[in-house]
Amino acid sequence: MLTTKGVGKQLRRSRRLLLAVFGAAVLVLAVIGLLRVFLGVDIGELTRDPIHKTGLHPFVGFLSNAGVLLWAFAAAICLFCAFVLRRTDGDASGFYLAAGLITAWMMLDDLFLFHDVILREYLGVAELVTYPLYFAAVAAFFYVFRRRVLDSEYVILILTAMFFLATMLLDLLVDNQLIPGEYLFEDGFKFLGIVGWLTYFGRTGFSDVLAAASAGRRARMRDGVCARCGSTDVTISNSRAQPELHAVPLAAAYRYEKPVVTPLPSGQLSASCNECGYSEIYLSGSSKLVSVSRNLRRVD
């Protein structure tokens, strides 16, 4: 049920996140306003869709826009995997974080034409300079995480690299008018490369997250690892404890069953996760009794 108390509690609990997220969004809008005030930039040029400003057909740039979306999907997958695996597999988390940052840069480059227009036409940086820099960054990434890559389905990456190399080669040839009008091949190979990049990190990320989830189910609270979320922020106590069960109306869909241990015998263990709240009670070193805080039963 939606209550004022519940909304207020959520606002207090999420105030830092809300301030950070919406504060950053408002900052972007403020920058646009400042550009209008101090530089006279037309706000519509920065806020409206390019199709509305140019009057072109809605499908103009279809393949390019689809590629940007696929870049965004791949970046989101990588950053999500980095967040999920940060406590269970630090090496994998670093791998996906670096991949997510590289992918995000590629997405921004593709969206705002950094190396095609901004660097080349406004800053005078030729593509013969930017391409080696991009190649060096990607090569450094795969060198640092070479063992993890070699343990994965790297044949997808090989095909992806071939597509991107073909794109760069065709880009240089088209610019020099050696094969004019062959944008289908240039942009087509680029699109295939993006598809391969998304496929590799999507498939690999799914496998790693699934493996971490399986490992989390095998984790033991008494070893200091939460069996639910994989957090290592676990408090283990052997003092006497009195489990508390909140009153639940008999007509409720769920009700608490009778607690198995109350109070906890002196000298026995209780373990609770300080992040997700999951807890377990142990009568002996090998006998897990029950998680009293989760001791619910469906009332049919």
Domain boundary, last residue among 194, 218, 242:
218
| pLDDT(275) > 70 | yes
- Is the model's pTM score more than 0.85? no
Look at residue 20 and tell me if it is in a domain: no
55 lies in the same domain as 112: yes
Handedness of CA 219, 222, 225, 229 (dihedral sign): positive
Residue 238 carries which side chain, given as an amino acid letter? N
Question: Domain limits at 270?
Answer: 221-298
Q: Which two tokens stand for residue 146?
A: 């070479």
Instruction: Point out the least confidently predicted range of 62-71, 102-111, 268-277.
Output: 268-277
Look at residue 88 and tell me if it is in a domain: yes
Res 249: pLDDT: 43
Res 59: pLDDT: 84
235 lies in the same domain as 121: no
170 lies in the same domain as 77: yes
H-helix segments, the chain: 4-13, 15-39, 43-47, 50-54, 62-84, 90-112, 127-144, 146-150, 155-175, 183-218
Domain count, the chain: 2
pLDDT digits (tens, 9 = 90+) for 205-262: 998 888 777 665 566 666 677 776 667 778 877 655 444 444 444 444 444 444 443 4
184 lies in the same domain as 136: yes
Q: To which H or E segment does residue 272 belong?
A: strand 269-273
How far is the C-alpha of 45 from the C-alpha of 29, rounded, in Å? 13
Res 187: pLDDT: 86
69 lies in the same domain as 141: yes
Q: How far is CA 35 from CA 18, 29, 48, 119, 188, in A?
A: 26, 10, 15, 21, 36
